[in-house]
Structure 1
Amino acid sequence: MSLIKSISGIRGTIGGKVNDNLTPLDVVKFASAFGTWLQNNKNKKDLTLIIGRDARISGQMVSSLVTATLQGLGINVVDLGLSTTPTVEIMVPELKADGGIILTASHNPKQWNALKLLNEKGEFITGENGAEVLALAESEDFNYAEVDNLGKYETREDAFDIHIQQILDLPMVDIEAIKAKNFKVVLDAVNSTGGIAIPMLLDKLGCETVKLYCEPTGHFPHNPEPLKEHLGDICELVKKENADLGVVVDPDVDRLALIDEKGEMFGEEYTLVAVADYLLKNKNGAAVSNLSSSRALRDVAQSHNSEYFASAVGEVNVVTLMKEKNAVIGGEGNGGIIYPDLHYGRDSLVGVALFLTHLAKENKTVSELRAGYPSYFMGKKKIELTPEIDVDAILSKMEKEYENEDVSTVDGVKIDFENNWVHLRKSNTEPIIRIYTEAKSQEEADKLGDDIIAKIKSLI
């Protein structure tokens, strides 16, 4: 079974059986549910939705199904075509639309696709709203429009231009400082839409772009999640080209990974750390990430006499806390930059512009910049339990066991020790506890995970 229905949307593999995979019927049903939910909650008849897609092979088919369904409900559609997640998010308020749907399975392999749902602010709908959409999808209580009331359809081809111009207009993006450096950048866009958008931005910033996997064919040349084990080609090309840095984005361009001039990973966790360092150096305010993100962001915030706050895992939770704390910068340790002066969504394009500004002003190489940040190493493990074991009870016991430490129960149980931390989260679908650790060395991070697993087993 490869169909995942959640409060943030529906995701699955193309083909197969209805309700087991992401079939045309599932796409139509879920698009109908979101459109109907909007109609039920808006005090107006004439609704407009923005849609855009990444370059994956099934994108055009899924887009056609979603478009026709929305029109069948009487909802107008503005189709951006090949786009990025942050571009769709930007265009919803730009065009004063009532919401949006992004057709992307993000970093998942090519057989996957998804519908991600946006409100009128261009932000992901809340968990409560998502639950209402899921209930509508189950009930199939839809009322389609008669022939004279079908929704209108139009396309827009200027969305990237609008998005990039908004970035260039940001006071914290110093175009002239970047241009003066004549940066040479190698880009791996995994043959999706980042191969269109990122070169447009780099050109405006006066950078030379060396393109790797930038044809938007949807045929991903490697696993599209921007992790070290998938990025050997760009690491080699950065060295071969004597480039200043490498830029890697996932298929929908909301995650940003960087490569230094030596062909070494900057560290996905450190994309946010570096951007926060630049912003907090110039503007007082808070930084926010989720509980499973690196402690390095807290350290950098404190070095600038700024506050740091941690949210539950999930972009919606990060955004909610950012608004509550009026944060200057936020995001997730997976390379997701959320810069509220532009919009409340992970955005690799604004991440690139802010990082290049920082790099230019510091007058350092990328490796020198990275060397200035605290070094932490992460470990990820899991413990599988039998179905009859009460996972919540185990987590409660762990909370009690470490009550003299700094413990958070916002999302599972996170235990902050003096020099490291462990975050325990239960799976929503199986009897598993996921164990995330961070320490000053990889060996220490892995050992902490093993020690916690041993402790959990002793409590069963």
Structure 2
Amino acid sequence: MRLFGTNGIRGRVGEDFTPEFLTKIGLAIGSYLPRSANVILGTDTRISGDMVKFAVISGLLASGVNVVDIEIAPTPAIQLYTREHGDFGIAITASHNPPEFNGVKCIAGDGTELPREEEERIEKIFFSEKFRIVNWEDVGDYTKGGNAREEYIRSILQRIDVESIKNKNFKVVLDCANGASCFTSPYLLETLGCKVITLNCQPDGRFPGHESEPKPENLRNLVSMVKATGADLGIAHDGDADRAIFVDDRGRYLYGDKTLTLVAEYVVRNKSGIVVTPVSSSLSLEEVVKKHGSRVLYTKVGAPIVARKMIEVKAIFGGEENGGLIFPEHLVARDGAMALAKVLEILAKSGKKLSQLIDSLPQYYQKKISVRCANEKKERALDILKEKLKGERINTIDGVKIMGESWWVLIRPSGTEPIYRIYAEAKSEEELNTIVERYKKILEDAVREA
């Protein structure tokens, strides 16, 4: 049985997340840690945050570990504070999920997301209920932390060209989705000399402005405001602010692969090395990285996997196509505020508008569809699919990725639904539609035969 999903433990409050369940989570994590370990703990703005937090804390203290509560903070701020001041960290967040959800995300002592093998150790304790419950005089200490948010902003400012940005007096529209970045990103932008127009920048765990996932349909007001005010750009965070999505000066919503490619080109132009990204990322990234004499290393889909690989190969940059960028000189984890600061630096140094920079990147068309497949058939269908694709240029890091000269198709089973996902990219829409239909039919045949 699994307790952790792809990004922590998540569930509906009052259904999956009950006080008893959450206290057991705290006991399992505490029993996994050495006695007297210092656990840094923070939350996003969800209204269930205190209930979830204190239930988990109860279990942690009962197992003899100490808790430093830094209260509401972006997940990357919790990760940074953990690296600097703790032995372990916990973010109480469900990131972009609807407000009735919450989550428990574990952070290793180096500030990275906990690797899967360590999650399995916690799961083993949880399901066996072999908890370490200490006597009254050994119960852990609970204290409130002081300046995690300020320390986080300071770390970002130390790693960008502040003066270049200040000299430009950028006009920025910022949408915090009523989430944890309400306490950090407006102040970061003001420190950078920006004129800031805010949307949904008051903390509210009901997410009244829009759902916390920064999808195009949720950011219509941001797009409208950028157009109406003549702003240089718009920026949106998800609920826990480990991602940033941008709107350019023409009011165009920019998918995360555009930002990933833009920042990667800036990084490799100044320093050669390895850029790490999942197999689902755009060919535009590889095109610009290779052009400047660096190389791309691909991983399975998932931010923790990307981060671990970055540490292993000493990568200079990494990230995903969903707006989650990783700057290892600051933190080996996705960071929305660091991403917004770096994009402002790129604009300041180039002297160009964001729309001009985006239009100068290699252009590709993308499509994502799904094919139904019962969970019990997924493994067999994948084996059949691989057999059908023999002779083609394929990569099996995560599912099957078929590579052409100027296109690719990724077919991978969903970890949460009874479907296979098909991601595809090509230089023209006509070519894109042709290859999607071709491989969709091959996948459907494989599923039928499974």
Q: Distance in 2 between matches of 1:446 and 1:253?
A: 34
Point out the more displaced range, 286-295 or 380-389: 380-389
Other structure's SS at 1:6 match: coil
Query: Contact 1:266–1:367 at 8 Å: present in 2 too?
Result: no
| Selected match of 1:335 from 319, 323, 326 | 323
Q: Which residue of 1 aligns with 2:55?
A: 65
2:8 alignment partner AA: G
- Cα distance change of structure 1 residues 450 and 31 upon mapping to structure 2, 3 Å threshold: farther
- Cα distance change of structure 1 residues 369 and 119 upon mapping to structure 2, 3 Å threshold: same
Unaligned runs of 5+ in 1: 40-44
Q: Distance in 1 between matches of 2:133 and 2:370?
A: 46
- Cα distance change of structure 1 residues 146 and 183 upon mapping to structure 2, 3 Å threshold: same
Q: Deviations over 1:46-101 (max 9, x none)?
A: 21100011101111211121222211222111111010110011001211x11000
Q: Distance in 1 between matches of 2:376 and 2:130?
A: 37
Q: Distance in 2 between matches of 1:13 and 1:443?
A: 42
Give identity over the alignment, percent: 37
Q: CA RMSD in A?
A: 1.7
Q: Which residue of 2 aligns with 1:396?
A: 383
Q: Which residue of 2 aligns with 1:106?
A: 95
Q: Which residue of 1 aligns with 2:28?
A: 33
Matches within 5 A, 1:187-266: 187-220=174-207, 221-266=209-254
TM-score by length of 2: 0.95
Q: Deviations over 1:102-158 (max 9, x none)?
A: 010011111110000011111111111111111211111112222211211111231
Matches within 5 A, 1:21-420: 21-39=16-34, 45-95=35-85, 97-170=86-159, 173-220=160-207, 221-386=209-374, 389=377, 391-420=378-407
Query: Contact 2:30–2:61 at 8 Å: present in 1 too?
Result: no
Unaligned runs of 5+ in 2: none
Query: Contact 1:269–1:293 at 8 Å: present in 2 too?
Result: yes
Q: Distance in 1 between matches of 2:44 and 2:350?
A: 34
Q: Distance in 1 between matches of 2:7 and 2:45?
A: 21
Query: Contact 1:8–1:130 at 8 Å: present in 2 too?
Result: no
Q: Distance in 2 between matches of 1:260 and 1:431?
A: 36
Query: Contact 2:176–2:199 at 8 Å: present in 1 too?
Result: yes
Deviation at 1:458, TM superposition (A): 3.2
Query: Contact 1:256–1:271 at 8 Å: present in 2 too?
Result: no
Other structure's SS at 1:81 match: strand
Query: Contact 1:194–1:253 at 8 Å: present in 2 too?
Result: yes
State the number of aligned residues: 445
Q: Distance in 2 between matches of 1:355 and 1:300?
A: 17
Query: Contact 1:178–1:206 at 8 Å: present in 2 too?
Result: yes
Deviation at 1:385, TM superposition (A): 2.7
Query: Contact 2:43–2:91 at 8 Å: present in 1 too?
Result: yes
Q: Which residue of 1 aligns with 2:9?
A: 10
Deviation at 1:343, TM superposition (A): 1.2
Q: Distance in 2 between matches of 1:110 and 1:447?
A: 39
1:160 alignment partner AA: R
- Cα distance change of structure 1 residues 8 and 243 upon mapping to structure 2, 3 Å threshold: closer
Q: Deviations over 1:392-449 (max 9, x none)?
A: 3332333333333331111111111112111111134554222111223455434433
Q: Deviations over 1:161-208 (max 9, x none)?
A: 1111111112xx111110111001100111011122101111121111
| Selected match of 1:457 from 441, 444, 447 | 444
Deviation at 1:9, TM superposition (A): 2.7
Q: Distance in 2 between matches of 1:261 and 1:32?
A: 50
Q: Distance in 2 between matches of 1:262 and 1:373?
A: 16
TM-score by length of 1: 0.93
1:348 alignment partner AA: G
Matched, 1:434 2:414: no
1:143 alignment partner AA: R
Query: Contact 1:277–1:301 at 8 Å: present in 2 too?
Result: yes
Q: Deviations over 1:211-254 (max 9, x none)?
A: 10000111212121111121100000011111100000001001
2:17 alignment partner AA: L
1:139 alignment partner AA: S
Q: Distance in 2 between matches of 1:189 and 1:159?
A: 19
Point out the more displaced range, 82-91 or 199-208: 199-208
